[in-house]
Chains A and B, each alone.
Chain A
């Protein structure tokens, strides 16, 4: 009973203070003025350039054809947030990257996922592990948005146990020949530059993995059917096929046999940045729910006045704020040099929270038996098709 009373008073305060589309997440403890300004700026950008395409992206299961979102985001300096300025990046930290990820996901979950794969999985990996000549060759076009980046590690039989991957890289004169398949590669269909992990030494377990930079058009490399996913539709995902694909020696990322370090350390930070995605999606749900419960009337009153709804919305709000606080405090620690893999593992915390959150969200919407509101835009945000 107490919980409901507390929840409803929190909720009525939220209802009193919020305004349509002007619901500012009271996060002044999390961000300083510059970060708030940046957040607001990306929000405006995403609202005007990404959100209008969101439901069409979901329906057609691909990025819009009439506007080049990659280029637009590149012009807005969103891709190279963590990359050095000499390649066109901003040389900033993960906090800013998370802010960008959150606001883009708020506009469209699919675009957010693709953006995360491109800017963090690919670009950030090159930044952290690439040689100067590799960075020189690949980063500028990736950061400007002219090229799309991707990363491939999972295979049909190697998901959680990614180290058991079967994709082979055999040493030949001048480079390697890669044979095998990769599954669930986000941005795979469109990427020009891909970071791919393969086994140079099949018997050496985790120490036999090497990371390679693959270019679209390399003979022997092709992409197979685009995957038709339940959610995050529009974030192009496909299978990659390598048939005697020759990769020159200078395309080894890091050192031969040291691929697992590239992979694991990259995953830690990837979890952090991509966890800002669910935070953005939760915020987007709240953006929809709050005005709705004030307008929708049943039994003579706006449904937002009913305790049950208030309880649900309060739960949504607290889930969102707790996830957000966690993600950004971990991001801040990373920027200050305190990269703790345990915290980064738990930065996935927003995902189970998102699942609970969506139960509340559905509950609130369905309670008033209004199916109309489940627009295509939000369908794309509901589930995570094995991306993690």
Chain B
């Protein structure tokens, strides 16, 4: 079985974000970028499944400008066998990513598609669900545990939902999106970094895959959340009611 993992290059989680002066987005120039933490967890899970013998190959996929290759190299250094880069110069929205992934799935025929539950830059939490819908595949999102059954060709996924933990049984092929507690991603050790240099990265363009890059929405403005104002200590309940009624207008 082949496993495909989609990874995204995002601003490093430790970086202090700043809004650009033109308010069109977040400052990404000269800012440290790395693989989305949830994507790291997705890749780690794929590698674990391969190591336990359920899969033969792990393919990492990333979409975006040419510097996505850095992220793919990290993925290869972690242990992925091959990588695919879909070169696109503009920002891609989840639906476009899902459509591109669908075309790649048709080419590669993986038995499992694993993604991070969301990217830490847009927090969309949509791509996994959309691709499952486009492919008509079952989905297990917010996975905190994945167990494969080789004979039955199914995956048992524990999901972290608001009410607690839910266990689903999915027929393969399926889409799984990973949550934080699924595993602890491995480091890229130096021998693997060396080996990764010779692993292939295949390039595609959206035109080759017959997908049009368009977005149904545009970002109008990005601003920082308003600064927290200092609190006020009140002296009586009457004063509280007065403020709630006349200042905050909530009652």
Contacts and interface: CB of A to CB of B under 8 A. Distances in A.
A76 B189 contact: yes
A157 interface: no
B14 A22 contact: yes
Interface in B51-100: 70, 73-74, 77
A33 B77 CA distance: 12
Given A17-B30, A22-B31, A37-B77, A92 B14 contact: no
A272 B113 CA distance: 47
Contacts of A92: 190
A37 B187 contact: no
20 contacts: A21-B14, A22-B12, A22-B14, A24-B32, A33-B70, A37-B73, A37-B193, A38-B193, A41-B188, A41-B190, A44-B187, A76-B189, A77-B189, A77-B190, A77-B191, A90-B190, A90-B191, A90-B194, A92-B190, A96-B190
Nearest to A78: B190
Interface in A62-96: 76-77, 81, 90, 92, 96
Interface of A: 17, 19-22, 24, 33-34, 37-38, 41, 44-45, 76-77, 81, 90, 92, 96
Interface in B16-52: 16, 30-32
Given A20-B16, A33-B73, A37-B74, 11 more contacts: A17-B30, A21-B14, A22-B14, A22-B31, A22-B32, A34-B193, A34-B197, A37-B188, A37-B193, A41-B193, A76-B187
Contacts of B188: 37, 41
Pairs A-B, 6 closest by C-beta atoms: A22-B32, A22-B15, A19-B15, A21-B14, A41-B188, A17-B30
A19 B12 CA distance: 10
Nearest to A96: B190
Nearest to B32: A22
A20 B13 CA distance: 11
A1 B201 CA distance: 53
Interface of B: 12, 14-16, 30-32, 70, 73-74, 77, 187-191, 193-194, 197
A345 B119 CA distance: 49
A275 B191 CA distance: 24
A44 B30 CA distance: 20
A45 B14 CA distance: 15
A38 B187 CA distance: 10
A20 B191 contact: no
B58 to A, nearest CB: 19
A349 B77 CA distance: 34
Contacts of B70: 33
Contacts of B16: 19-20
Contacts of A41: 77, 187-190, 193
A362 B197 CA distance: 43
B210 to A, nearest CB: 32
A37 B73 CA distance: 9
Contacts of A24: 32
B190 A45 contact: no
Contacts of B14: 20-22
